[in-house]
C-alpha cells in the first residue's frame, strides 16, 4: 500500500482544489482518503458526469484517530479487489 498526503512530494500541493485532486487520483490510480464529507460527494458526481472515473473515495469519520484510520485502511487494502471502490464513496469505519 502506498499512502501520500497532500503537500508531500509527488502528491498534489496543499491548497489544491477538490476537482484537481480527483483528477490527480484518477491519473495516478490512487484512492482518496478524506474527511471532507461536505464537498467531495458533489465533486465526485460532477467528475463522473463528465465521463471520468475515480479509483474510489474512502471518507473517514471526524472522530477516528490516526491508528483507527490506519487499521481501517489495512482492512480495506487486504480484503479488496483492485477496482472494488471505483466510482463510489465508502464511509469508514466499516464496522
pLDDT in tens, 7-60: 999 999 999 999 999 999 999 999 999 988 889 999 999 999 999 999 999 999
Cα–Cα separations (whole angstroms), residue 49 to 41, 58, 66, 74: 12, 20, 33, 31
Q: 7 phi and psi, to 5 degrees? A: 100, -15
- pTM for this prediction: 0.87
94 pLDDT more than 80: no
pLDDT of res. 78 = 85
C-beta of residue 11 within 8 angstroms of C-beta of residue 3: no
On the question of pLDDT at 95 being above 80, the answer is no
Amino acid at each position: 500500500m502506498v499512502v501520500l498526503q497532500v503537500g508531500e512530494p509527488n502528491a498534489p500541493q496543499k491548497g489544491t482544489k477538490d476537482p484537481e485532486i480527483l483528477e490527480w487520483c484518477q491519473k495516478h490510480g490512487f484512492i482518496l482518503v478524506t474527511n471532507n464529507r461536505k464537498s467531495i460527494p458533489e465533486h465526485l458526481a460532477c467528475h463522473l458526469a463528465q465521463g471520468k472515473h475515480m479509483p474510489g473515495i474512502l471518507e473517514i469519520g471526524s472522530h477516528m484517530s490516526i491508528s483507527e484510520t490506519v487499521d481501517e485502511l489495512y482492512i480495506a487494502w487486504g480484503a479488496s479487489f483492485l477496482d472494488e471502490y471505483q466510482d463510489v464513496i465508502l464511509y469508514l469505519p466499516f464496522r
